[in-house]
Structure 1
């Protein structure tokens, strides 16, 4: 199962981009033996300033066909890292080929796109900068693969 982060905005080179690339490369390496494909980022940018609806259209076009959709949203469900790993494993075991994580722009995700999500996920009650959420999500994807692989990276 491929894992794709579909996010609004372009991330410039720097420490955040380095962290994301490192975690997703690790997740791809660890996940191969577990039935996971590549973990990657697809960025979209609303250059015309159409707001959340335009961002939602761009995100929708970036989603892999028939992917499970996970919306990163402050109103979403709080999961533990093992719970997140279990969810990914269930989808993989159910034969799902793609899972897409959507991260909106500064105003969040358009309600119509958010309603299409199979899971709405929150990283807590605080609001996080959307660029930092990419780093946090990338790390959690990597952590999920290590949990499923039985690696000592995740300690309880």
Structure 2
């Protein structure tokens, strides 16, 4: 299953970009990052059987293990792509949130959207590591 991060804003050459890339390179599943302008632009076409995850402060908070099990379920159900949408400073349109398969939150704090990319990349690496029984993740 393709893990596709679709993010508003250009990350450029920055510490956040380096951290994001460091985690994405470690993931054994296929990954892709698409950047959109802060406003406007259209989402890339999704693969058939794609899942849409919208990162939103009003979303569900999940433990790393719960997140891994959700990815596992999607993968095992034959989903071809999981798209993770990261908004700009003003967040997402209501219609995008309404159409999401999952609203995901990294907690009640407000995070810079460039840092959210690195946090998501790390959680994707952690989740795929959990599923591969890799010792990176330590429960409790």
Q: TM-score range by the shorter chain?
A: over 0.9
Corresponding position of 1:34 = none
Partner secondary structure for residue 33 of structure 2? strand
Match of 1:16 in 2: 16
From 35, 47, 55, give the equivalent of 1:65.
47
- Deviation per CA, 1:69-93, whole angstroms, max 9, x where unpaired? 0000000001000000000000000
Aligned mates of 2:85, 2:14 — CA distance in 1: 22
- Distance in 2 (CA, whole Å) between partners of 1:40 and 1:22 is 13
Q: Is the 8 A contact 2:16 2:115 kept in 1?
A: yes
Give the alignment's Cα RMSD to 1 decimal: 1.2
The alignment status of 1:7 with 2:7, answered yes or no, reads yes
Q: Distance in 1 between matches of 2:19 and 2:32?
A: 13
Q: Partner of 1:40 in structure 2? A: 32
More deviation, 8-17/82-91: 8-17
1:140 equivalent among 101, 104, 123: 123
Bigger fraction of residues in helix: 1
For structure 2, the residue ranges without an aligned partner over 5 or more in a row are: none
Contact 1:63–1:100 under 8 Å retained in 2: no
> What secondary structure, in the 3-state scheme, does the structure 2 residue paired with 1:62 have?
coil
TM-score by length of 1: 0.84
Instruction: Work out the number of aligned pairs and report it.
Output: 138
Q: 2:85 aligns to what SS in structure 1? A: strand
CA distance in 2 between partners of 1:62 and 1:42 (Å): 8
Unmatched 5+ stretches in structure 1: 32-37
The Cα offsets for residues 11-43 of structure 1, whole Å up to 9 and x where unpaired, read as 01121111111111101x3x3xxxxxx112100
TM-score by length of 2: 0.94
**Is residue 117 from structure 1 mapped to residue 117 from structure 2 by the alignment?**
no
Q: Does 1:151 align with 2:134?
A: yes
